[in-house]
Structure 1
Amino acid sequence: MKQIILVRHGKSSWNYQVSDKDRPLKERGINDGILVSNAFANKNITIDFAYASPANRALATSMIFLRNLNFDLDLFRVNESLYDFSGKSVSDFVKRLDDGLETVMIFGHNYAFTTLANTWGDQYIENVPTSGLVHIKFDVENWHAISKGTSETIIFPKHLKR
């Protein structure tokens, strides 16, 4: 069984004259990341490895989540392939993962994550929002064989706010 946890980066700021990769999180992005990661922590899912896009907003989101999950950062890497908006590069990356890894968490971008959540999961999602998390299980032994799985957990910030 393989499991992928897709996390879209938190809400970013456009208030700075920086490149797309360097855009920081807004305060809302930080707060939503804390909210969603705390809710996910209650699921008690063991993550074997985590990867993030090199974009500042994805890296910052990954640190919020991984710290809240008490995740061993030795099992974390940044990968350029995850700075992808179509989903093709992320899909190729996932299908090349080491088959010794069962559960992997990835931090990245839309529209890639909405596309992949709908391609791989069994619940239609119109849009994975910022700080949104989608956990999908696949009944396969090899990452290259993933296709349609089961959407196990979907946590969006709006689900946690009253």
Structure 2
Amino acid sequence: MKQIILMRHGKSSWDYDVSDKDRPLKERGVNDAHLVAKTFGLHAPTIDFIYSSPANRALHTCMIFVRNLGFDLSKFNVTNALYDFSGNSVEQFVQKLDNGLDTVAIFGHNYAFTSLANTWGDQYIENVPTAGLVHITFGVDDWSKIAKGTTKQMVFPKHLKK
């Protein structure tokens, strides 16, 4: 069985005159990432590897997640394939993952993550919000054969705030 955890970056700031890849997180984005990571960590599966988009906002969200889960950084990598908004590059990346990895977390962007959550999962999601996490399981042992899976968990910041 293969499992993928899709996590969209936290809320980013438009307060700086920087390139898209260099846009930082807002304070809300940092706080939401901590909240989602801590909640997910209560029942998280063992993650074999984590990949992140190189965009600052995605990488920062990923590092918050990694720290909250006490994840081993030797099982982490940054890949340009996840700096994708359509979902095509992300889908190709996932289909080429090493089959020795059963559970993978990836950090990236919308529209790609909403599209893939709906393509792969069995629950319709109108929009994966910033710092939103979607955990999907597949009844196959080959990443190149993943298709429709089961949406096991959704952790969205707005559901965790009082």
TM class, shorter-chain normalised? over 0.9
Q: What do the CA deviations read for 1:35-72 (whole angstroms, capped 9, x no partner)? A: 00000000131000000000000000000001000000
Q: Paired residue for 2:45?
A: 45
Q: Pairwise mapping of residues 116-131 of structure 1 onto structure 2 (< 5 A)?
A: 116-131=116-131
Runs of 4+ in 1 over 3 A off after TM superposition: none
Give the total of aligned pairs: 162
Question: One-letter code of the match for 1:73?
Answer: L
Q: What do the CA deviations read for 1:84-135 (whole angstroms, capped 9, x no partner)? A: 0000000000000000000000000000000000000000000000000000
Residues 1:147 and 2:154 are matched in the alignment: no
Distance (whole Å) between structure 2 residues aligned to residue 80 and residue 111 of structure 1: 16
Q: Paired residue for 1:57?
A: 57
Q: Pairwise mapping of residues 25-104 of structure 1 onto structure 2 (< 5 A)?
A: 25-104=25-104
Distance (whole Å) between structure 1 residues aligned to residue 44 and residue 5 of structure 2: 13
Q: Paired residue for 1:5?
A: 5
Q: Paired residue for 1:23?
A: 23
Structure 2: 5+ residue stretches without partners:
none
Question: One-letter code of the match for 2:50?
Answer: A
Distance (whole Å) between structure 2 residues aligned to residue 127 and residue 51 of structure 1: 22
Say what the alpha-carbon RMSD is for the aligned residues: 0.4
Structure 1: 5+ residue stretches without partners:
none
State the TM-score, normalizing by the size of structure 1.
Answer: 0.99
Aligned partner of residue 98 in structure 2, secondary structure = coil
Distance (whole Å) between structure 1 residues aligned to residue 159 and residue 132 of structure 2: 10
Question: One-letter code of the match for 1:92?
Answer: Q
Distance (whole Å) between structure 1 residues aligned to residue 11 and residue 150 of structure 2: 27
Aligned partner of residue 37 in structure 2, secondary structure = helix
Distance (whole Å) between structure 1 residues aligned to residue 51 and residue 121 of structure 2: 20
Aligned partner of residue 130 in structure 1, secondary structure = coil
